[in-house]
């Protein structure tokens, strides 16, 4: 992994393509996500906090920050707002005083489940734009290369949390 393994031109071509493709897809996901949760008076970060705390059955602020890809202070501030709305509670564990745990209240669970019940894959543009691939290959793409990149960017822990979150969705619905 030294600089001799790629040329400057190769690097800029690759970075530019990655930037354009991931910006285009993420911005589309962001827009649809905002539309979906607007009726619940939640913004994307707040819903992401609820999502993580729900599917991980409680999470630390640091896990929310990491998996939600937001600064620790952003994760904390949005969690604080949700606490004020009675949707979650903060706590410390006897054996681990350093971390702050976030857990949804009954009201938080109810609201999160309502948002999920409202999710309509027909209105999810990236889903729809992926159907031609599914019809060719028989299943949605796995994106193992993206997983490998994310693993090297954020560490194994990120993909472990993703797996726990996907496992919880599999069990739940």
**Which residues would be at the binding site for its own copies (CB under 8 A)?**
1, 3, 5-6, 8-29, 33, 67, 69, 116, 119, 121-122, 124-135, 140-141, 143, 145-154, 158, 162, 165-166, 169-170, 173
Backbone angles phi, psi at 56, to 5 degrees: -90, 5
Which is closer to its own copies, CB of 21 or CB of 86?
A: 21
Q: DSSP character for 83?
A: H
Residue 99: C-alpha distances to residues 59, 75, 158, 159 (Å): 10, 13, 18, 21
Q: Which is nearer to its own copies, 11 or 92 (CB)?
A: 11
Closer residue to its own copies (CB): 40 or 158 = 158
Residue 89 phi/psi, 5-degree rounding, is -130, 150
Min CB(73)–its own copies separation in Å: 15
Contacts 24+ apart (CB under 8 A), 91-100: 99/60, 99/61, 99/62, 100/60, 100/61, 100/76
In sequence order, what are the beta bridge partners of 93?
A: 96
- Shortest distance (Å) from residue 101 CB to its own copies: 21
User: CB 97 → its own copies: shortest distance, Å?
Assistant: 30
Residues belonging to the chain: 173
Closest approach, Cβ 96 to its own copies, in A, equals: 25
Measured from the CB atom, the residue of 97 and 135 that comes closer to its own copies is: 135
């Amino acid at each position: 992994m030294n600089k001799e393994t790629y040329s400057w031109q190769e690097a800029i071509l690759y970075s530019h393509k990655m930037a354009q493709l991931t910006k285009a897809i993420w911005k589309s996901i962001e827009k649809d996500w905002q539309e979906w949760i607007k009726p619940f008076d939640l913004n994307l970060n707040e819903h992401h906090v609820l999502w993580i705390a729900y599917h991980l059955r409680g999470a630390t602020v640091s896990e929310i920050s990491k998996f939600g890809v937001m600064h620790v202070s952003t994760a904390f501030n949005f969690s604080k707002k949700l606490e004020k709305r009675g949707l979650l509670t903060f706590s410390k564990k006897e054996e681990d005083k350093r971390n702050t745990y976030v857990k949804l209240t009954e009201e938080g669970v109810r609201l999160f489940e309502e948002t999920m019940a409202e999710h309509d894959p027909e209105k999810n543009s990236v889903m729809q734009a992926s159907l031609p691939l599914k019809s060719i290959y028989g299943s949605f793409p796995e994106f193992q290369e993206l997983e490998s990149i994310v693993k090297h960017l954020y560490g194994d822990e990120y993909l472990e949390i993703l797996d726990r979150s996907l496992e919880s969705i599999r069990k739940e619905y």
